[in-house]
Amino acid sequence: MLERIHHVAFAHAPDAPIHEVLEQALGLIVAHEEVGDGFIERMLPIGDGYIQTLEPTGPGLVQRFVDRRGSALHHVAFSVADVRAVVESLRLAGVPLVEPAPRRGGMGTQIAFIHPSATGGMLVELVEGGTRPDDAT
């Protein structure tokens, strides 16, 4: 069902621009930047996946997470071939989702989040489509 790790997301305070640190310390480079609802997401390719950084720009989920937890790993995302089919299969299995149907994510993807109550507190995102690092860079 899950193909690979698509990205690992790290939410950080606006005054802690971790993408700059990751570039200087580890050589990871921001290949894509996109404005979301109350945050900026940045994608740093690594292998066939990404590190994603989430910077809050106003009220919303990312700001609330950073207020509560500080800068911390936020979620892990897995590539799937057909997110609608996986969501339907999870629904039939009684696994709760954050939203009832997949929606548009960054980089032209379709995404869905499994509710953390179903995964012992780990926020899991499912990602279909979009460019791979080889295409994006």
Q: Which residues bind a second copy (CB under 8 A)?
A: 1-5, 8, 10, 12, 16-18, 21-22, 24-28, 46-49, 51, 69-76, 78-79, 90, 93, 95, 114, 118-122, 124
3-class secondary-structure state, position 93: coil
Shortest distance, position 27 Cβ to a second copy, whole Å:
5
Nearer to a second copy, 59 or 70 (CB): 70
The dihedral through the CA atoms of 63, 70, 125, 131 has a sign that is: positive
Residue with tokens 């919303």: 60
DSSP 23-44: HHHH-----EEEE-SSEEEEEE
Whose Cβ is closer to a second copy: residue 18's or residue 62's? 18
CB-based contact 52:9 (threshold 8 Å): yes
For 69, phi then psi, to 5°, come to -110, -15
Q: Which helix (H) or strand (E) holds 124?
A: strand 124-128
Q: How far is the CB of 38 from a second copy (least distance, A)?
A: 20
Hunting for tokens 């606006």 — which residue is that?
14
Nearer to a second copy, 107 or 124 (CB): 124
Residue among 28 and 43 whose Cβ is closer to a second copy? 28
Instruction: Output the smallest distance, CB 104 to a second copy, in A.
Output: 23
Q: C-beta of 35: minimal distance to a second copy in Å?
A: 20
